Structure 1
Amino acid sequence: MEKTESLRSAGKFGVRQIAIIGMLSAISIMLGLSGFGFIPLPTAKATIMQIPVIIGAILEGPLVGAMIGLLFGIFSIIQSLTTPNILSFAFINPLVSVLPRVLIGITAYYAYKWTWSKNEGVRIGVGAIVGSLTNTLGVLTMIYLLYAVQFAQTRGIDVSAATKVIYGIALVNGVPEAIIAMAISVPVIMAIKKRYKN
């Protein structure tokens, strides 16, 4: 464990960290390609593609989480170019598709680390919720800041209504996504941490 901490602080990756980055990045990409990364809800689709980033960050630190998020973001750009949809014009911009995904790992890790609780499940849950909301709010905020006019045009609404629509999506998608991220991340991370100890 001390060796892992020293690698984190030095900004270097050990064999285990590299393996985890590759494995969790592949899971995130496969979730997107297969369609299993989206859970249908009555009003929208909730994504779970941020969960591998959260798991990697809480288990191995913010640099590992950021790397998984980086690969997740790059995949988003490639997907937007190869299978475009009405919002692909925004997702080909790294500020929309990459930056928020890199930040998932950083915010999830530090929310976990700085949560004042002796209950490990609570700390992991807080990290998962913060990481998931970073994805939802980060992506939608960048769309609003950079592409509000184009977003309004694609939706057939007035630009003045773009704020309500964008943050309405954040509320409708963000809350279920955060709950799902917490529900999946807590038992998975607890199980892996238990195996680490053994």
Structure 2
Amino acid sequence: MQKSLNTGTSTRTRQITVIGMLSAISIMLGMTGLGFIPIPPVKATIMHIPVIIGAILEGPIVGASVGLIFGVFSMVQAITAPTPLSFIFMNPVVAVIPRVLIGIVSYYIYKGISGKNKSLGTAVAAGVGSLTNTAGVLGLIYLIYLEPYAKTLGISVSAAKKGILVVGATNGIPEAIISIIITMAVATAVKKISRR
């Protein structure tokens, strides 16, 4: 019984440590600007990668927790360093929910595939997790803010619809590829170290 309690405490401590470490990396990427690639009128991001790594290595609670911190940071950044489109990310539905889902989706994709092939599971989870962020954020912009988005950019609603699709492709595909490369490298390295 004592051994079981110690194991549970050790696991929780490790998970809290991983959440703190990956959240700090995500925030550092955001604060330094290293986590954003400007592609007007939006910024492509690699800040979702720590969320995916946390989910694959430690499970959906860790992934969702890092995603929550990423989402809250997006809201804080929208308030403290506003751009013309920052009003969108002041809404927690847009800023937080897709980021939490990154961790949950990535974990279950990984779990579903990794039993047969861990490398394939990691790659697919990283790609789908990244696309969850892109589709979630852009989909919510489309559903909630299409008209204000168009007005802010000075374009028609139909042009805004097309623009969101273009942004989804031009941001989403490169983000997914980068996510796969970095996640596979980090997850493989961490698993090798943890086996020692």
TM-score, with length taken from structure 2: 0.90
160, 166, 169: which one pairs with 1:168? 166
Match of 1:10 in 2: none
Judge conservation of contact 2:102–2:132 (CA < 8 Å) in 1: yes
Q: Which amino acid aligns with 1:171?
A: A
The change in CA–CA distance for 1:182 and 1:16 in structure 2 (over 3 A counts) is: same
2:131 aligns to what?
133
Q: 1:110 is matched with which residue: 108, 111, 114?
A: 108
Compute the displacement of 1:132 (Å).
0.3
Q: Distance in 2 between matches of 1:147 and 1:55?
A: 30
The match for 2:55 is 57
Q: Is the 8 A contact 1:136 1:170 kept in 2?
A: yes
Specify the code of the residue in structure 2 equivalent to 1:173.
N
Conserved? CA contact 1:25–1:71, under 8 Å:
yes
Query: Is the CA contact 1:43–1:172 (under 8 Å) kept in the aligned structure 2?
Result: no
For residue 88 of structure 1, the aligned residue among 64, 86, 89 is 86
SS of 1:85's partner is coil
Residue number in structure 2 paired with 1:124: 122
Report the Cα offset of residue 119 of structure 1: 2.9
- The secondary structure found in structure 1 opposite 2:116 is coil
Instruction: Pick the aligned partner of 2:13 from 12, 15, 20.
Output: 15
TM-superposed CA distance for 1:39, in Å, is 3.7
Percent identity reads: 58
Cα 1:68–1:116 change in 2 (3 A) is closer
Written as runs of structure 1 = structure 2, the 5 A alignment for 1:119-198 is 119-198=117-196
CA gap 1:67/1:116 in 2 versus in 1, 3 angstroms: closer
Deviations 1:86-137 (A, max 9, x none): 1111100001000000000001111111126633211100000011000111
Contact 1:44–1:172, Cα closer than 8 Å, also in 2: no
- Could you tell me how far apart the structure 1 residues matched to 2:177 and 2:44 are? 10
Give a deviation string over 1:123-180, Cα, whole Å, max 9, x none. Answer: 1000000110001110011111110000001111111222211111010000000000
| Cα-to-partner distance string for 1:6-33 (whole Å, 9 max, x where unaligned) | 96xxxxx700000000110010011011
Taking the aligned partners of 1:108 and 1:33, their CA distance within structure 2 comes to: 25
- Give the SS at the match of 2:110: helix
1:128–1:178 Cα contact (<8 Å) kept: yes
Residue 44 of structure 2 aligns to a residue whose secondary structure is strand
Question: TM-score normalised to the size of structure 1?
Answer: 0.89
What do you get for the CA RMSD once the two structures are aligned? Answer: 2.0
For the residue of structure 2 that corresponds to 1:115, the secondary structure is helix
Moved over 6 A (4+): 41-44
Contact 2:114 2:122 in 1 (8 A): no
Aligned with residue 76 of structure 1, among 59, 74, 77 = 74
Name the residue aligned to 1:24. Answer: 22
- Residue number in structure 2 paired with 1:36: 34
Verify the 8 A CA contact 2:114 2:120 in the aligned structure 1: no
